[in-house]
Structure 1
Amino acid sequence: MNKVKAYFTRLPFSLKSAVIVTTVITVLVMLQSYIWVGKIKNKPDFWESDHAIFPIINHVIWLGFAPLIYSMIFNIRAKEIQATRPFNRIGFLIALSVIFTIAHEVVGVLIYNSYVALTHMNDGNFVFNINSGVFGLSKSFFEFWIIYFVLLSFHNQKNIQQIKVKNSLLEADILKAQMSALKNQLHPHFLFNSFNTISALMEENVELAQRMISKLGALLRKILKEADTQFITVKEEIDLAKLYLEVEQIRFDGRLITHFSVDPNAVKIQIPSLILQPAIENAIKHGFYKKTDKCNIYLSVREETDVLVLEVIDNGAGVKNEKDFSFGMGLKNIQERLKRCYGNQFTFYAKPMEEGGFMILIKIQKEALTNEHFSSAN
């Protein structure tokens, strides 16, 4: 039984589909023959005649031949023969059609004669005459070419599907490489800012600089741990943000105050790693812009009806004229990464608020959070 299943796996479609189609065609042919012979020609013994058994024998034989035909036409060696010259391909197919036509007729006669011998049925057609033999060969030759074009159609469809799968995998690899490149842009930018701060502190407060180095080390260890991971949970992203802000709080000596609001339902949702990093840097930049007092940064992650919302707000002076504001590298990085991850299933706002301060708002469609390319990007 396993060998039979293995034999039929050569087909570009399932054995179940092949059996169903063969059965339907057989029933239709038998019904047509019954109407013509049994009713119009008024043969009451139709179901005991060769007209009833022929379609079954005919289509069962072709079903048995189909995997062999497919493998002989589409195997590697056959493709090499057919690819050398167009004439070789036509000649190869014609030779194959003649071989299977004769084989079909021979096997059909053997099965039919065996059936007649077992059932003792004899309606005058037990021995094939020349005319019926010629008609049978012509009919089988025609049926071979029908089967060939059906197999060719499914073969091409199968190849198209395989190409689509390969292209999808290639696109996933390209996306991963692009995401890694964008993510890696953040690291030198972030490190430059951090070391610049430590350098300044070393001249003012060595103990504070040492504390900052310690916090920075903890942050870098966590970043390196997630180095090959394109997506992390909201909780992990918030933990990274907290570590970074602790480093910045040392830098600003207590003038930076942070506020976190994280929806418990959102903590396990995965988002691009370090996606909030440039937003937080931007908030610090604008928060202390033209200010000497304390700066408040509000970081919020929450679920709404059909979106995941990430929000970073500061209470700085903001920008008086929104036209004067332009995206820096960090904000462009956020937008580009979101676009590559979610296509058009996100919105990104970065603008000064009328009451002062600056807001960065990211909304990601929940539908996008379950896409295959998203879940397989890790």
Structure 2
Amino acid sequence: MVAPESTVSHSDEEGQNPQSVSPPLRPAVLVGLQLGWWGIYGVAYYLTLRPYQPFVDLLWKQTFIATGSGLLLSALLGGLYRAVRLSRRRPVGQALIALGTSIALGLAWYQVKVWGVEWFNPFIAPVTSLGAFRPGEGSILSSAPAFPILLLVWSGAYLSIAQWYARQTQEQRRLRADAEAQRARLRMLRYQLNPHFFFNALNTIGALADENPQRVKTAVHELSGFLRYTLLDEEALNVPLRDEVEAAEHYLAVEKIRFEDDLRVDVSLDGAAGRQVVPSFLVLPLVENAIQHGPYTSPTPLHVRVTGTLTEDVLVVEVANTGHWRAPPDADGTGTGLDNVRRRLATQHPDRHRLAVTEDDGWVRVRIELDTDALNPHA
């Protein structure tokens, strides 16, 4: 078949979710399908006509004329369908147009084949009558009704591919829009997370410069490790969990310098869990919430715990802190980070994740579970 028209414009594909759909058919593939279709027809025409045509050289010529003219007429038919935007019309309109054009061009195709046979075999006309088969043309594929029927089947295949092509292209357009929306949410998280943490870290480093200059180097190292993760690859939608947890460790190390003995940190990550690819900024907003709100309700010292474990069925990531649940004071508070995590999990792993916020025994826990069949391990 020739390339069907699409209902949306084409553009280069940007970074996609690994679960994205297959790309639409390319023109080279569509040309290959067209040639394959008529190649199969040519073989069938030759084999079904062979018992009725004793002259092999004439048989090859008949096959070439029937197949070549069918290829040219189907290309014209495809161009006509694109010109009238057939795939965008109502089903009844599609059926009527396909039926009318297939019959008209099918009969024209049959007549072209007849003229061709008479051209290379001029002795065929005088020995035939209106009701008789032409000598050497007893195949069912050589009869007049076969040609409109074959073009009608071709038209049905064309419309099926055109509809599939349009759906695939629309789906990829939706995926690109979703990916861009996720990047926008990530940018919002970065703008929300970085400024106040960065200013606090600078104030801490400034204080250390007078009180404990030896620790300035450590603070700058931890801060640069955190900023390297959050600033260098702003377009990454997915990262190995170990990278996310490592950035959280840098973040907590800077906060540990600031809070000193008023903050205790425990991080535990299984090696297999660390290799799993998860949405970026999955852990950091939860750690920030713990640092931001934990001191208001936790006894001193505030204890923050980050864990990641992997079982056969599920990846579990948990961020917990001592104290009680404290809702953000307004819509612009850090609670938007948790909401953003929820939305991105729902977008990237629908029906494959669970997120729960619980409070028990003096701990607030945010627990994320991701089904392992929805994950891809990183090398």
Q: TM-score, normalised by structure 1?
A: 0.70
Q: Give the 3 Å change call, closer, same or farther, for CA 80–89 of structure 1 in structure 2.
A: farther
**1:74 lines up with 2:78 in the alignment:** yes
- Which deviates more from structure 2 when the two are superposed, residues 99-108 or residues 238-247? 99-108
1:141 CA displacement: 3.9
Q: Give the 3 Å change call, closer, same or farther, for CA 201–236 of structure 1 in structure 2.
A: closer
**1:183 lines up with 2:186 in the alignment:** yes
1:208 CA displacement: 6.8
Within-5 A mapping of 1:206-225: 207=210, 211=216, 212=219, 215-225=222-232
Q: Deviations over 1:27-54 (max 9, x none)?
A: 8x89xxxxxxxxxxxxxxxx96669x99
Q: Deviations over 1:337-358 (max 9, x none)?
A: 11111122111111212x1111
Q: Give the 3 Å change call, closer, same or farther, for CA 207–181 of structure 1 in structure 2.
A: farther
Q: Deviations over 1:2-42 (max 9, x none)?
A: xxxxxx97668365566667767998x89xxxxxxxxxxxx
- Residue 373 of structure 2 corresponds to 367
- What secondary structure does 2:300 align onto? coil
| Maintained 8 Å contact 1:81/1:88 | no
Q: Give the 3 Å change call, closer, same or farther, for CA 282–147 of structure 1 in structure 2.
A: same
Q: Which amino acid aligns with 2:75?
A: S
Structure 1 residue corresponding to 2:239, chosen from 232, 237, 250: 232
| Maintained 8 Å contact 2:98/2:155 | no
Within-5 A mapping of 1:12-91: 13=33, 62-75=66-79, 79-80=82-83
Within-5 A mapping of 1:1-378: 13=33, 62-75=66-79, 79-80=82-83, 96-108=105-117, 127-132=127-132, 140-198=143-201, 201=204, 207=210, 211=216, 212=219, 215-314=222-321, 316-319=322-325, 328-353=335-360, 355-370=361-376
1:73 CA displacement: 1.0
- Distance across 2 between alignment mates of 1:348 and 1:295: 23
What is the aligned-residue RMSD (CA, Å)? 4.6
1:279 CA displacement: 1.0
- Distance across 2 between alignment mates of 1:90 and 1:149: 6
Max Rg structure: 1
| Maintained 8 Å contact 1:311/1:361 | yes
- What secondary structure does 1:289 align onto? helix
- Distance across 2 between alignment mates of 1:168 and 1:306: 29
Q: Give the 3 Å change call, closer, same or farther, for CA 201–80 of structure 1 in structure 2.
A: closer
Aligned length: 330
Unmatched runs of 5 consecutive residues or more in structure 2: 1-27, 87-92, 328-332
Unmatched runs of 5 consecutive residues or more in structure 1: 1-7, 31-46, 117-124
- What secondary structure does 1:360 align onto? strand
Q: Give the 3 Å change call, closer, same or farther, for CA 313–55 of structure 1 in structure 2.
A: farther
| Maintained 8 Å contact 1:234/1:269 | yes
- Residue 21 of structure 2 corresponds to none
- Residue 43 of structure 1 corresponds to none
- Residue 40 of structure 1 corresponds to none
| Maintained 8 Å contact 1:10/1:67 | no
| Maintained 8 Å contact 1:58/1:108 | yes
1:285 CA displacement: 3.7
- Residue 17 of structure 2 corresponds to none
Identity, % of aligned positions: 18
